[in-house]
Amino acid sequence: MSDGALPGHVVVEATPQGEVLQASDRAGFTAIRRLIDCANIDVSSAVIGADYYSDTLLMLIELAFREGECNTPAQ
């Protein structure tokens, strides 16, 4: 899926017309895409403490992955 961000980045701010204003490769932001895809979230290379918002997102996404349907075996 092309969203206008650089490879390995996700759009974190865009205009209503879809123009990318900001993109990020920080672990918390990229983990959102991985959670949507129910892909494993690897935080081993994350630089914790570099960005409050990214760190907070990462913490919440790890919780959502662990407690949500992505971590539930198919029945």
Decide: pTM greater than 0.75.
no
What's the pLDDT tens digit per position in 5-47?
688 888 989 999 999 999 988 888 888 888 888 888 777 767 7
| CA 19 to the chain's CA centroid | 19
**Nearest-angstrom CA–CA distance, 75 and 65:** 18
Geometric angle at alpha carbon 53, from 49 and 58, rounded to 5°: 75
Residue 53 has pLDDT above 60, yes or no: yes
